[in-house]
Amino acid sequence: MSHAGRERTEAAPYRLTFDGTTVTARPGQSVGAALVAAGIVSWRTTRRAGGPRGLFCGIGVCFDCLITVDDHPGQRACLVPARDGMRLSREETRPSAEDGRGGEGSDGD
């Protein structure tokens, strides 16, 4: 089967903003993939040690890639499809309980 004469047309990239910086994404790409492709590998920190976090599993099993999307916190960047005009921001971290156990959703660090 010949594809001669067929031109492949690429869809225009989406433009997202991450903490005021423009990031581009391809249609079908997740927010997490777009950030990593743009060289942004960390967008939240752990509660106790302040360690950087971004993509880890990439399939929605862990919660390392939490990000705020269009003012909705707690979104897993690996599962959220990129859309044109999205506003992304770092996930605000809250200190864990003083007993050091970290409670529900502990980062384990």
In a domain, 55, yes or no: yes
3-state SS track over the chain: CCCCCCCCCCCCCEEEEECCEEEEECCCCEHHHHHHHCCCCCCEECCCCCCEECCCCCCCCCCCCEEEECCEEEEECCCCECCCCCEEECCCCCCCCCCCCCCCCCCCC
In a domain, 8, yes or no: no
CATH number at residue 29: 3.10.20.440
CA 27 – CA 24 distance, rounded (Å): 10
In a domain, 61, yes or no: yes
pLDDT tens digits for range 52-70: 999 999 999 999 999 999 9
| Tally of domains within the chain | 1
Q: Please tell me the predicted confidence (pLDDT) of residue 92.
A: 75
pTM: 0.77
Range of the domain at 59: 14-89
Q: Please tell me the predicted confidence (pLDDT) of residue 94.
A: 66
pLDDT tens digits for range 1-45: 555 656 666 889 999 999 999 999 999 999 999 999 999 999 999
